[in-house]
Chain A
């Protein structure tokens, strides 16, 4: 009772669905493979799409921007540097700061909530364009933190940490 019993596909199709394949006793259901293939293609497409407007170097520095202004003029760019002179309006969520790498400095404006780690002297990467007033209008802001982790050493650091933790509650930012 072996060979004919195995001929039916194990699932999803009604029992009377055509002749059996000769070579294999266990026929594979193609559906999982089609779905997996489609998922892989979708993922690959998403990766390509996500990287379309990107360089493999994720951002330029303010100095590089300054040196190649003609190249970048009018284009959406990602610029990374250190954050200085932060002004944040908690009511309107308007954020103004300077982005610098020591060589060049550009004023940046951004509207919206930012990560709790965003603060003075923090690394940040902004994506956007310069407006007519030579202010960089960012529509995306990413905080780039360092790979160094340490526990607070002084009472002052501990107090700052606790205060930051408190401020980053549900109603802050």
Chain B
């Protein structure tokens, strides 16, 4: 997927529509899934909780991958994608925690326990929160990209540790229902697998859609930053033209307010 912002964006809207359609189908399947023999309708929370966790893994993985690509190529678009991905990751980690807490209270009997899975999940918020905070503190773009790329690459360790936490250490959190280690099998009714896979697919699309949208925004931010630092002449005209008009008006409005 090309993330240079071309004058005519042929990707974002179709991707968004496809995501919405997949989410619609997934929600329908999830909300029509039959109750579990022990948990009843609470089992439907799985179709939100697992896909949000999956999306956060995807996003943190993206931060690591794009950070690595930045370190290899030094192209700033990879830095923008890494940052966008980290923001998405933090957002969906919070969604995972909130959804998980709502599921934990009626089943475990507590919103929160300090077992290995939950603790490492909370730690990821510290790591990627620090990642985003650090980006805000470093003004020099190349240095900011370099430092955060290193954190992003190292942070990828979170994914296997968090995924395996339920296998490596005793905890409260149940192990994976869809077993991917060893022989792949699903410890549940096939009807649940269908909802789960559809929602996971929809959330995968959602990740790429959000990454696309945030990446375009990040490009505009970068262009504003460069303009404010006086780098206006360096712009390739094809890049600047479609974004410049809308953006310039908003900036002048801001200036007028300040002035």
Q: Are A and B interaction partners?
A: yes
Residues of A whose CB lies within 8 Å of any CB of B are 1, 5-6, 8, 10, 24-26, 28, 32-33, 36-37, 39-40, 43-44, 47, 50-51, 54, 56-59, 80, 114-118, 125, 140-153, 157, 160-161, 164-165
Using Cβ atoms and an 8 Å threshold, which residues of chain A touch B130? 40
Check: B210 CB closer than 8 A to any chain A CB.
no
Residues of B whose CB lies within 8 Å of any CB of A are 34-40, 43, 46, 106-110, 113-116, 119, 122-123, 125-126, 129-130, 132-133, 136-137, 139, 169-172, 174-177, 187-189, 191-192, 228-229, 254-255, 258-259
Using Cβ atoms and an 8 Å threshold, which residues of chain A touch B36? 149-151
A161 to B186, CA, bound (A): 22
Q: A47-B126, A148-B188 are in contact. Are A40 and B133 (CB under 8 A)?
A: yes
Q: Is A149 touching B46 in the complex (CB atoms < 8 A)?
A: yes
Apart from A50-B114, A148-B188, 14 more pairs, CB < 8 Å:
A5-B259, A10-B258, A25-B228, A28-B136, A36-B129, A36-B133, A39-B129, A40-B126, A40-B130, A47-B123, A59-B170, A117-B38, A149-B189, A150-B188
Q: Is A58 touching B37 in the complex (CB atoms < 8 A)?
A: no
Using Cβ atoms and an 8 Å threshold, which residues of chain B touch A50? 114, 119
Name the residue on B nearest A161 (C-beta). B37
B21 to chain A, nearest CB (A): 26
Task: Choose from B37, B174, B228 the contact partner of A26 (Cβ within 8 Å).
Answer: B228
Q: A142-B108, A142-B172, A165-B40 are in contact. Are A56 and B116 (CB under 8 A)?
A: yes
Using Cβ atoms and an 8 Å threshold, which residues of chain B touch A59? 170
Using Cβ atoms and an 8 Å threshold, which residues of chain A touch B39? 117, 145, 149
Name the residue on B nearest A39 (C-beta). B129
